[in-house]
C-alpha cells in the first residue's frame, strides 16, 4: 500500500473501539438501555435469580441466603472481567456464569439450564421490551399525526398524484393518510406484543429432561417453574414443542413488524421531501434551514431524508432474519447467531431512530399557506373543469360546445404556461373572452370560488382518524406525552 | 454474436409465450384460478356489476335491464380483444372498460370510479382470497404434522443439535416442533385475513369527491355504497383516510405473512434433508427414490430441496414489497406497479407450491426404525454418561473416581470410533472392565436400557400439539381434507 | 368463502394459463427469444447436436447420418408432447431426451452426460446471450445519454441538492452524470461477459469420470470435447474444479451486474420524476401527457416510475440469487433450482424492460427552457451571493458591511417569498435600495447577468462524457442503432 | 411494564456504550483500524493536509509553516471534544473542521471544499483500503485451500450429491471446488480494486466551480489538484461527471464483491457442517470438540456455522446498498447516509470475520480416513454397478441378464440395509451367490478394488487449482503468510 500518502503507518495496531453507529447516532436512551451490553448482563443476572427463587420455592435445595448473595452482587458488573474470562474459557456463557458465581461465592446459578435456556429467554425479554418502547414511541408519533391532521384540517391544498397537482384536498389529510398507514402497523405490533410467545425452560433439545430430572420427574413442578419465569418476564404465552431454540421465524416476525410500523412515517417523510422541494412546507424552521447565509433559500428536508435511509437499514435487517428463518435442522445450531446479534438490536435501534426523527419533524414542521394558495391559483381552474362545464351549461351553452371550448382552452393554457414560464393561469379569462361560450368571468370565477367545496369527505376522514388516535392516547396516556431527544 | 454455433438465427423473432414458472410448475389449481388473467378479468367485471347494482339501489339512474346486460356478457371474455384495445388506447383499464361496455351495449360501468378504485379493490380481493387458500392448505398441512407427530410419538431417536446427536427424543417431536412453528404463522395469517382492510371507493386522491358528486353530496349514500362493496368482496374493515391507493405496506404485510407460514415447513424440509442424508428417513418411498437402477441406494430429498428453493423466492418477493412500502408521495403513483404485478402473485404461487410440496412429503415420508436404533446403539452411552455415573455411585464408587473414569473412557471411545471407523460403541465394556469402578456391565446396561426414560416431556408436548391441531381441524373440517395435486 | 358475491363459482377449475408478467409487458422481443421455453428447448437440442458432433469427431462411434437425423428434427418442437412425457416420467430432462430421440429415431443424444452437464451449460449460454443483449441495449441507452448531454450542453439550469436549488449548472449534466454512472456498470458487464466461465462437461460430481470412460481414459479427448463445446457456446473460459453444478455465486454475480447497469437509468428516472413535478421537464410529449381533457396540465412521469418499479424487482432477484450462493453442500443439489428458474429469467426481463423504458424516455423527453429560466430568476440571486459581495467590495463597500447587508436581505427575501407566495426575487432591488451599500442595481445585475459563468467545469465534463460514449458507439455500431419497441 | 420482575428500574438512564458487534467479535485488527472512528478522523486530517499541500504547490497562498502546524497536531485526536462541538454546531463536519483548525491555530483546512468533497473521498479511501485487506486475507485463505487440496489429493472418498453418496472422488477436491469458486470472486475483487474510481474534488453539484474560482478559473490547476489527491489516496481512476456525491451504485458494487468472495468459503462451511455430521471430518481438533466430558462424541462445526451466519449479514448489507443505489435525484442528498454508515463498515467487518473464521477452520480441520473408508465400504458396490456389469460380461454373462441381476440385488441390498440397520454392504456376496451370473466374488471384488480408478480427472483438477493458487501466492507473498487472529 505504499502508493498512498494516507498510509496506515501511524494508525496504532491494537483493537480500537468501534461503536454501534445506530446506537450512537439515532436510537433513544430507553432503547439503548434495553440492548446495551450492560443492560443485557443485568437482565441475565435477574433471570438467574428468578430461576433460583423458583427452584427454591418449588422445593429444590437452594437456601435463601445463597439467593440473597446473588441479589447483592447483581449490580456489581465488570464487563472487562467477563471478557477476560471469555478469552480463557472460549465460551461467552461460561464466562458470565463463572463471574456471577465467584462474586456471589456460590455455584447455584444456571442449575439445569443450557445456554439457550438462559439466552433465548433473556433475548426474547429484550425484544418484547424493545417492542413496547417502539409501541410507546409510536403512540407519541400517532398523537402528533392526529394533532397536525386536525390543525391543518381546514387548509386547502392541491393534492398530488404522480407528483403533479390532481385534486383539491386538505393539508391535514397528509397526516391522516400516513397516520392511518401507521395505525395498521400499530395494531399489528400490539397483537404481536400480546401474543409473542416465550421459549421457556426446555433444555438441550427441548424435552425439558434436565429440569425434569432435577425435580425428580415431577412434570407439575417443571411447569410451575416455567410459568414463574414467563410471569417474571411478562409473557402470557409459552411455546410448547421446540428444540434447543425458539423458532427463528419469530425474529423475522418481530423485525417485519418493526418495518411495518415505520412505513407510515417513511411515506410521510417522502411526501415531506417533495413538499419542501415545492416550498410549500418545511420540516423545521429551526436548524438554520431558513436563514443560513450561504443558502438562505434552502429548506433541506434532512431529517426526512434520514428517515428514508434508516428504513433501508431495517429492511436489510428483515432480510437477515428472513435468511435465518426456516433453516433450523433438528434442535438447532448457531448458524443464526451472528446474524441475530447484528440484526435484532440494529432493527430496534433503526426503528427507534426513525420514530425519534419523525416526532422531531412533526413537532417542528409547517406549511406555507401563501405558497399553497399560489399553487391553488395556478392549478384550480385545471382541477375544476367539470364545474366550469356545469356553470356554462347552466348559462345555456350546449354541452358539446362547452366541453370542446373548455378542453381546447385548458390544453392551450397548460402548454402556454410551460412554454412561456408564466405563473398565472388565465383559463377563466380566455373562457370569458370566448364568444362561443358567452359566459362572464364572474360566473366562472364564482363556480370555483370556494375550493373547500372540492375536498369531498376529507374533513370527515380527518375527524375519524383523530378519533382513533384519541382512543390510543387514552389507552397509553403516559406514552402519549413522550418527547423525542434532540437529534444530531 | 457470430462466435457461437448455437446462434439465434433459427429462433423466430416474434414475441413468444413465456409462462409464469411458479404457476406452471408449483402452485395449485385453486391458486391459479385466483391470479390468472382470466380470473382477474372476471373479478373485475363482477366488481363493476356490484358497483352498478349498488349505485342503482341507492337511487342513481341505472336501469335494471342495463345491469342485466352486463351480467349476461360477464363470461364472454376475449383476452386477445382486450389486448388489441390496450395497444391502441395505451391504457390497460380503458381497454377493459371499453370491451365490457361494448359487449353490454351501454356505458354505465366504472361510473365515478378511478382506475385504482377498481384495481386496488379487486386486487385486494385476490390477495384475501389467496390468503384464504393458503390458510386452507396450511390447515391440511398442519393436520399432517399432527398425525405424524402422534404416529411417531413413541419412536425414540437420537435428536441432534449442531447436526450431531445430543439427546434421546421422540421422532414425532420433529413434526410437533416444526408444526408448532407453523402454528405461529397460521395464527398470524388468520388475524390478517380477519383484519385486512379494503381500500374502498375513494377517488383520485382519496377524498371520495367523485362519488359524492354523483350522489349529490349525500355522504350517507357514499358510505352505503362502500359498505355494499366491502360486503360483496368479503371485507369487514374499510380504510378511512387514504390517497389514490391503499398503503403499500399492506402488500409487505401480506407477503411477510406468507413467508412466515412457510418457515415451519421449510425448517422441516431442512431437517428432512439431513435425516435422509443419515439414511434414517425418506421423504418418499415413491418416485423411484429407493430402487432406481443407477443409484439404488439414493434417497434424494428433492421435494424438501424444492421447498427450500421456493422459500428463497418468497423472501425475494418480500424484499420487493418492502421496497414498495413507505415510499408513497402524496396520493401515490405507479412506482409500485410493476413490482406488485410480479411479487404479489408470485409470492402466493411460491407459498402455495411450498405447501403442496410439504403435504406431499408428509404424506409419503417415513422413518427407518432399524437405522434409528443403530444410531441409538452408537450414541446412547455417550448421551447418558450422567446416568452411568449415578449407577456407579450407587454401587459404592466414589463420585470423583467415577467421574474421572467415565470421562476418560468416553473420550477414548469417541476418538477411537472415528479413528478406526468402528460402528459399535464399547463404552460399557470398557467401564465394566475397569477395576477402578468394579461395576458389572449388566448394571451399567440396565441403567440405560430404556431410552424412552430419557425423552423427558416429549410425549406430553406431542399430545398438546396434536390437541391444538385437532382444534384447527374441527374449525376448518373441509380444508383439513384437502389433498395436494401430484407434483412434477 | 360464501360471504362474497364475487364468488369463484363461475371460475373454471382447470389449470389456466398464467403468463410471465415481465415477459409479457416489459422485456424486448430479442430477450424473450433467449428465455422462452421454445428457445430453451432449441438451444438444448443444439447442445446435444454439438456434443454428438464432437464425440464423433473425437472418435466415438456416432455415424454422421445419425447426427443428420437429429439436425433434421431440431425445429420439430412440440412443447405439449414433452409436457405429457414429463408427467409420465416425472423427470423434466428425461422427457426432453426421449422426445428428441424418438423424433430422430436414435438413442445417441445425451451420451455420457448428466442432467446438469446439459442444463447448466445451456443455461449459462442463455445468461451470456442475455448479458450480450443487455450490453447492446445499454450501448443504445448510453448513446442517447451522450446525445442529450450534448444537446443540452449550453442550457443553464438551477441544479439541486436535497431537491432544492443549489448551484447553476447545465441541463446536459443530468445526462452525463447518470450516463457516467451507467458507464461503470457497463464496464463491469463487459468484463463479466468476457470472463464468465462455462461449467463444461464434468459429470455427476465434477470428476469427468463418465466422459473419460467413454473415451477409454483419454484425458486429452475429454479436454478437446469440452473445448469444442465452449467454443460453440461462445465461451473463452471453462471452470476447472467443480461439483455437479457451476458455483451458484455466478448467478449472484450476473444478477448483481444487471442490477448495477440499471442504477444509472434509475437515478435518471428519479430525477426525471422530480423535474416533471417542477414542470421544467417532461418525459414525453406523446401519450397525451400534455393535452388530455381531464387533466390538461399533468405531466405524469409514468415511464420513469416504471423504471423505478422494475429496479425493485431486479434487486429482489439479486436477493434470491444471493440466498442460493454459498450454500452448496458437496457436489450440489436442487435447493437452488426453483429460485433460479424464477430469478434468472426475471432479472433479465426486468433489466431489459428498464432499458426499453429508459430509451423511450430519452427519445421523447425534453426541457421547458422558459420554466428553467423562471427558476433561475427566482433563485439566481441566492445562488450567487458571493458574487454580489465581490461586486459591492469592488465598489468600495467594506467586506464586513457588505456581508452583513447581503445576508440580512437574502434571508428576508427568502422568508418573504414563502410567507407571501411571491414568485419574484427582489434581492437586487433591496440591496440597491440599501444606503449602507450604495451600489446600483445595474452593477449588481451585471455581476450575475451571465449564469453560464457559474457552471464551472460542466461543459468540459459533458464533452468528456460524450467522448467516452462515442468510443463505445464506434465499438458497437450496430447496437448503437437499436430502437426500443413501443411500450405499453 | 410493571408486570415483569425483570424491571428496568435499576438500569441507569444515561446513554450507555453500545459496541459494534461485528467489530468486537469477528473482524480482524487491521480491518478495525480502517473503519474505527479514530482511523477515520486521522484519514480525514491527512486528506485536509494533502489538499493544503496541493493547493500551496499549485500557487495558492498557504504558507508552509501553516501546513506544518496542521501536520504537527494531526495525531492530537480527542473524539470527545469533537462530539461536544457537534452537539453545539449540529453538524458533524463543521465540528471536525473547527477542532482541527483550533488545534493548528489557522483556518486553512477545508478551503473550497464541501462536506462530500471531504467525506466521499475519505470514505472511498477506506473502502479501497478495506478491499485490499479483504484481498490479502483472501490470498491467505486461498493458499490454505490450495494446500489442503494437495494434502488430501490422494484420499478417496464417496462424494455426495443431494447429500447422498454419488461417486468416488478425492477429499482434496472439496477444497479445490470451493477454492475455485473463491477464485472467481477474487478475480472480480482484484479488478474492482484496480478500477474503483474516486469521486474527486467536485464541489456542491459536481461542477468544480468553487475550486475553479479559488484558482482564478484555471482548469488545469483544478485538474492537477484532483490528480494529486487521487495519487495520495492510491486511485488510478477519477470520476468525470458527478453530482454532490459519487454514484451510490459503487457502494452496491463493493458490497456485492465482498459477498461474492465469501461464497466459496460459505459453501465450504456448509459442506464442512455436513461432513462433521457424518463424522468423516472435523473443523478442529482443538476447542475441546473431541474430548469434552459432557458430550465426548460431538464435533460441532461451530465456526462453519458462524461463517454461514455472517454471510447472511453481508447479504443484508448488499440489500441496504441496493436500496441506496439508483435513487439519486439531481446532485444527491442524505437519504443514503445512515444506511451507508451501517452497511459499508459492517459488510467489511462481516466479510473479514468470515475470512478469519475460514482460515481458522482450514488450519485446524481434518478428515478421519477410517471413517471415509467405512463409507466407501458401504457405498462402493452401489457406486460401481456399471463396473460390476462389465466384469460379469467379460466372464461371459449376457448383458441383459447381468443388468437385471445386478439391479435386483442392488435394490434389495439398499432396502435391506436401511430396513435392518446393517452397516455392511453384501452386494458382492449376493452377486457371487447368484447362479444366474456365476461370477466369483474375487472377480467382482477385483473389478472395484482400486477406488482411485473411479475418481476420473479429480487429481488433475486439484493440481491445476493448486497451480493457480501458487501464482497468486507468488503475486502476494506477504499476504500469503497472514495468520488469522484467535477467534472467540
Q: C297 and A368: CB-CB below 8 Å? A: no
Nearest to C330 among D161, D334, D468 (CB): D161
pLDDT exceeds cutoff 70 at D12:
no
For residue range A290-334, list pLDDT tens digits in order: 445 567 778 899 999 999 999 999 999 999 999 999 999 999 999
For residue range A171-192, list pLDDT tens digits in order: 999 999 999 999 999 999 999 9
| Contacting residues of A for D312, CB less than 8 Å apart | 320, 323-324, 339
Query: What is the pLDDT confidence band of residue B287, given thresholds at 50, 70 and 90?
Result: very low
Q: A18 and D18: CB-CB below 8 Å? A: no
Q: If you search the block for the grid coordinates 433453516, which residue do you land on?
A: A327
Q: If you search the block for the grid coordinates 460431538, which residue do you land on?
A: D298
For residue range D468-482, list pLDDT tens digits in order: 999 999 999 999 999
Kindly give the residue spans of alpha helices, DSSP state H, lying in B90-171: 92-104, 115-151
Q: What pLDDT is recorded for position C419?
A: 92
Q: What pLDDT is recorded for position A286?
A: 61
Q: What pLDDT is recorded for position A442?
A: 95
Query: What is the pLDDT confidence band of residue D284, given thresholds at 50, 70 and 90?
Result: confident
Nearest to B15 among C32, C47, C302 (CB): C32
- Measured distance CA(B170)–CA(B455) in Å, rounded: 7
- Measured distance CA(D222)–CA(A160) in Å, rounded: 44
Q: What pLDDT is recorded for position B87?
A: 86
Q: What pLDDT is recorded for position D291?
A: 44
Q: Using a CB–CB cutoff of 8 Å, tell me whether C70 touches chain D.
A: no
Assign residue D203 a region (left: φ > 0; alpha: ψ between -120 and 50; beta: otherwise).
left
Query: What is the pLDDT confidence band of residue A116, given thresholds at 50, 70 and 90?
Result: very high
Q: Please, what is the Cα angle at D95 between D89 and D97, to 5 degrees?
A: 135
Report chain D's terminal Cα–Cα distance, integer Å. Answer: 35
- Could you tell me whether strands D156-161 and C366-367 are parallel, antiparallel, or unpaired per DSSP bridges? unpaired
pLDDT exceeds cutoff 50 at D4:
no
| Nearest residue of A to residue B197, measured between CA atoms | A184
For residue range B239-273, list pLDDT tens digits in order: 999 999 999 999 999 999 999 999 999 999 999 99
Average pLDDT on A403-410 reads: 90
Report chain A's terminal Cα–Cα distance, integer Å. Answer: 35
Q: D341 and A21: CB-CB below 8 Å? A: yes
Which is it for the CA torsion A349, A353, A359, A360, positive or negative?
Answer: positive
Assign residue C110 a region (left: φ > 0; alpha: ψ between -120 and 50; beta: otherwise).
left
CA atoms within 13 A on the CB side of D431: 31
Give the other-Cβ count within 10 Å of B370's Cβ. Answer: 16
| Contacting residues of B for C36, CB less than 8 Å apart | 16-18
For residue range D42-62, list pLDDT tens digits in order: 999 999 999 999 999 999 999
Counted residue by residue, chain D has a size of: 488
- Could you tell me whether strands C156-161 and B366-367 are parallel, antiparallel, or unpaired per DSSP bridges? unpaired
Chains near C (3 or more Cβ pairs under 8 Å): A, B, D
Q: What pLDDT is recorded for position D166?
A: 94
Q: Using a CB–CB cutoff of 8 Å, tell me whether D329 touches chain B.
A: no
| Contacting residues of A for B334, CB less than 8 Å apart | 162
| Nearest residue of A to residue C414, measured between CA atoms | A297
Q: Using a CB–CB cutoff of 8 Å, tell me whether B81 touches chain C.
A: no
Chains near B (3 or more Cβ pairs under 8 Å): A, C, D
Q: Using a CB–CB cutoff of 8 Å, tell me whether D292 touches chain A.
A: no
Q: D419 and B299: CB-CB below 8 Å? A: no
Q: C6 and B43: CB-CB below 8 Å? A: yes
Mutation target among D138, D209, D330 for the C interface, most CBs of C within 10 A: D330
- DSSP secondary structure, D441-479, as one string: HHHHHHHTS-GGGGSTTHHHHHHHHHHHHHHHHHHSHHH
| Nearest residue of B to residue C12, measured between CA atoms | B33
| Contacting residues of C for B92, CB less than 8 Å apart | 488
pLDDT exceeds cutoff 50 at B9:
no
Count CB pairs under 8 A between chains A and D.
Answer: 250
The three three-digit cell numbers of residue D483, written as one number: 495468520
| Contacting residues of B for A462, CB less than 8 Å apart | 241
Give the other-Cβ count within 10 Å of C284's Cβ. Answer: 21
Nearest to B323 among D323, D379, D410 (CB): D323
| Nearest residue of D to residue A128, measured between CA atoms | D1
Q: D296 and B164: CB-CB below 8 Å? A: no
Going by the DSSP 8-state scheme, the letter that residue A454 receives in this structure is G
The three three-digit cell numbers of residue A475, written as one number: 389507552
Q: What pLDDT is recorded for position B144?
A: 98
Assign residue B326 a region (left: φ > 0; alpha: ψ between -120 and 50; beta: otherwise).
left
pLDDT exceeds cutoff 90 at B285:
no
For residue range B176-190, list pLDDT tens digits in order: 999 999 999 999 999
Instruction: Return the HEC string of D115-180.
Output: HHHHHHHHHHHHHHHHHHHHHHHHHHHHHHHHHHHHHCCCCEEEEEECCEEEEEEECHHHHHHHHH
- DSSP secondary structure, D231-260, as one string: HHHT-S-B-SS--SS--THHHHHHHHHHHH
The CA distance from C5 to the nearest CA of chain D, in Å, is 41
Q: B421 and D373: CB-CB below 8 Å? A: yes
- Do D228 and D54 touch, CB atoms closer than 8 A? yes
Q: What pLDDT is recorded for position B11?
A: 46
For residue range A9-56, list pLDDT tens digits in order: 444 568 999 999 999 999 999 999 999 999 999 999 999 999 999 999
| Contacting residues of C for B25, CB less than 8 Å apart | 338, 341
- Measured distance CA(D418)–CA(D261) in Å, rounded: 40
Report chain C's terminal Cα–Cα distance, integer Å. Answer: 35
| Contacting residues of A for B157, CB less than 8 Å apart | none
The three three-digit cell numbers of residue D180, written as one number: 475455485
- Measured distance CA(A290)–CA(A81) in Å, rounded: 51
- Do B343 and B256 touch, CB atoms closer than 8 A? no
For residue range A71-91, list pLDDT tens digits in order: 999 999 999 999 999 888 888
| Contacting residues of B for D165, CB less than 8 Å apart | 297-298
- Measured distance CA(D105)–CA(A175) in Å, rounded: 50
Query: What is the pLDDT confidence band of residue D354, given thresholds at 50, 70 and 90?
Result: very high
**Nearest residue to C357 (alpha-carbon basis) of C410, C321, C306, C284:** C306
CA atoms within 13 A on the CB side of A227: 8
Q: Using a CB–CB cutoff of 8 Å, tell me whether B206 touches chain A.
A: yes
Q: Please, what is the Cα angle at B407 between B403 and B410, to 5 degrees?
A: 140
- Measured distance CA(A404)–CA(A391) in Å, rounded: 14
Q: A455 and B207: CB-CB below 8 Å? A: yes
Q: What pLDDT is recorded for position A483?
A: 97
Q: Using a CB–CB cutoff of 8 Å, tell me whether A63 touches chain D.
A: no
Alpha carbon C124 to its chain's center: 19
- Measured distance CA(D432)–CA(D444) in Å, rounded: 8
The three three-digit cell numbers of residue A390, written as one number: 356545469
Average pLDDT on C62-73 reads: 97
Q: Residue A394: CB partners within 8 Å, gap ≥ 6?
A: none
Query: In chain A, which among 423-452 make CB contacts under 8 A with chain C?
Result: 423
Q: Is B216 exposed, middle or buried (0-12, 13-18, 19+ CB in 10 A)?
A: exposed
Nearest to A250 among B184, B205, B325 (CB): B184
- Do D289 and D299 touch, CB atoms closer than 8 A? yes
Q: What percent of chain A has pLDDT over 70?
A: 95
Return the minimum-mean-pLDDT range out of A266-270, C184-188, D167-171, D401-405.
D401-405
Q: B297 and D379: CB-CB below 8 Å? A: yes
Query: In chain B, which among 347-406 make CB contacts under 8 A with chain C?
Result: 350, 353
Q: Using a CB–CB cutoff of 8 Å, tell me whether A336 touches chain B.
A: no
Q: Using a CB–CB cutoff of 8 Å, tell me whether C329 touches chain A.
A: no
pLDDT exceeds cutoff 70 at C291:
no
Q: What pLDDT is recorded for position A4?
A: 43
Q: What pLDDT is recorded for position A488?
A: 76
Give the other-Cβ count within 10 Å of D305's Cβ. Answer: 25
The CA-based dihedral angle spanning residues B236, B240, B246, B251, taken in that order and rounded to the nearest 10 degrees: -50
Q: What pLDDT is recorded for position A294?
A: 63
Q: If you search the block for the grid coordinates 390497460, which residue do you land on?
A: B92
Query: In chain D, which among 123-182 make CB contacts under 8 A with chain C?
Result: 159-163, 166-167, 169, 173-174, 176-181
For residue range B321-351, list pLDDT tens digits in order: 999 999 999 999 999 999 999 999 999 999 9
Query: In chain A, which among 302-321 make CB contacts under 8 A with chain C?
Result: 302, 305, 319
Indicate the average pLDDT of chain A: 93
| Contacting residues of C for B12, CB less than 8 Å apart | 33
pLDDT exceeds cutoff 60 at C91:
yes
pLDDT exceeds cutoff 70 at C1:
no
Q: D488 and A350: CB-CB below 8 Å? A: no
Q: If you search the block for the grid coordinates 463487459, which residue do you land on?
A: C190
pTM of the entire structure? Answer: 0.97
Average pLDDT on D256-268 reads: 98
Longest dimension (CA), chain B: 104
Average pLDDT on C309-321 reads: 98
pLDDT exceeds cutoff 50 at D1:
no
Mutation target among A183, A207, A246, A306 for the B interface, most CBs of B within 10 A: A207
Going by the DSSP 8-state scheme, the letter that residue A19 receives in this structure is B
- Measured distance CA(C260)–CA(C272) in Å, rounded: 19
pLDDT exceeds cutoff 60 at B7:
no
Q: What pLDDT is recorded for position C9?
A: 47
Amino acid at each position: 500500500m505504499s502508493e498512498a500518502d494516507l498510509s496506515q503507518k501511524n494508525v496504532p495496531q491494537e483493537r480500537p473501539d468501534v461503536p454501534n453507529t445506530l446506537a450512537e447516532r439515532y436510537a433513544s436512551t430507553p432503547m439503548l438501555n434495553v440492548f446495551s451490553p450492560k443492560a443485557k448482563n443485568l437482565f441475565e443476572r435477574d433471570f438467574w435469580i428468578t430461576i433460583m427463587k423458583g427452584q427454591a420455592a418449588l422445593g429444590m435445595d437452594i437456601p435463601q441466603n445463597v439467593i440473597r448473595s446473588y441479589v447483592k452482587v447483581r449490580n456489581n458488573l465488570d464487563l472487562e472481567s467477563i471478557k477476560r474470562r471469555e478469552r480463557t474459557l472460549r465460551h461467552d456463557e461460561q464466562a458470565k456464569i463463572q463471574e456471577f458465581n465467584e462474586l456471589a461465592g456460590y455455584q447455584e446459578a444456571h442449575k439445569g439450564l443450557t445456554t439457550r435456556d438462559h439466552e433465548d429467554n433473556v433475548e426474547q425479554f429484550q425484544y418484547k421490551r424493545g417492542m413496547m418502547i417502539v409501541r410507546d414511541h409510536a403512540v407519541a408519533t400517532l398523537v402528533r399525526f392526529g394533532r397536525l391532521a386536525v390543525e391543518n384540517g381546514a387548509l386547502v391544498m392541491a393534492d398530488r398524484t404522480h407528483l403533479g397537482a390532481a385534486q383539491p384536498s386538505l393539508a391535514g389529510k397528509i397526516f391522516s393518510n400516513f397516520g392511518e398507514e401507521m395505525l395498521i402497523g400499530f395494531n399489528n405490533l400490539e397483537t404481536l406484543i400480546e401474543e409473542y410467545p416465550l421459549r421457556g425452560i426446555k433444555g438441550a433439545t427441548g424435552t425439558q429432561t434436565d429440569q425434569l430430572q432435577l425435580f425428580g420427574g415431577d412434570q407439575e413442578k417443571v411447569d410451575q417453574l416455567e410459568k414463574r419465569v414467563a410471569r417474571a418476564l411478562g409473557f402470557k404465552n409459552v411455546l410448547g414443542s421446540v428444540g434447543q431454540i425458539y423458532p427463528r421465524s419469530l425474529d423475522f416476525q418481530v423485525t417485519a413488524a418493526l418495518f411495518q410500523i415505520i412505513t407510515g412515517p417513511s411515506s410521510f417523510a417522502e411526501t415531506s421531501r417533495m413538499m419542501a422541494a415545492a416550498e410549500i412546507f418545511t420540516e423545521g424552521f429551526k436548524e438554520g434551514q431558513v436563514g443560513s447565509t450561504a443558502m438562505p433559500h434552502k429548506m433541506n428536508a434532512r431529517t426526512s431524508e434520514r428517515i428514508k435511509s434508516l428504513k433501508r437499514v431495517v429492511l436489510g435487517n428483515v432480510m437477515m432474519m428472513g435468511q435465518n428463518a426456516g433453516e433450523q435442522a433438528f434442535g438447532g445450531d448457531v448458524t443464526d447467531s451472528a446474524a441475530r446479534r447484528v440484526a435484532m438490536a440494529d432493527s430496534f435501534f433503526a426503528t427507534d431512530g426513525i420514530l425519534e426523527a419523525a416526532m422531531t419533524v412533526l413537532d417542528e414542521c409547517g406549511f406555507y399557506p401563501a405558497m399553497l394558495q399560489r399553487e391553488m391559483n395556478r392549478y384550480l381552474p385545471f382541477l375544476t373543469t367539470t364545474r366550469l362545464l356545469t356553470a356554462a351549461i347552466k348559462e345555456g351553452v350546449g354541452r358539446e360546445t362547452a366541453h370542446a371550448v373548455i378542453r381546447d382552452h385548458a390544453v392551450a393554457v397548460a402548454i402556454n404556461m410551460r412554454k412561456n414560464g408564466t405563473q398565472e393561469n388565465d383559463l377563466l379569462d380566455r373562457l370569458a373572452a370566448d364568444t362561443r361560450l358567452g359566459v362572464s368571468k364572474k360566473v366562472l370565477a364564482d363556480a370555483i370560488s370556494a375550493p373547500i367545496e372540492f375536498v369531498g369527505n376529507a374533513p370527515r376522514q380527518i375527524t375519524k382518524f383523530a378519533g382513533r388516535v384519541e382512543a390510543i392516547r387514552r389507552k397509553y396516556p403516559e406514552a402519549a406525552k413522550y418527547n423525542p431527544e434532540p437529534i444530531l
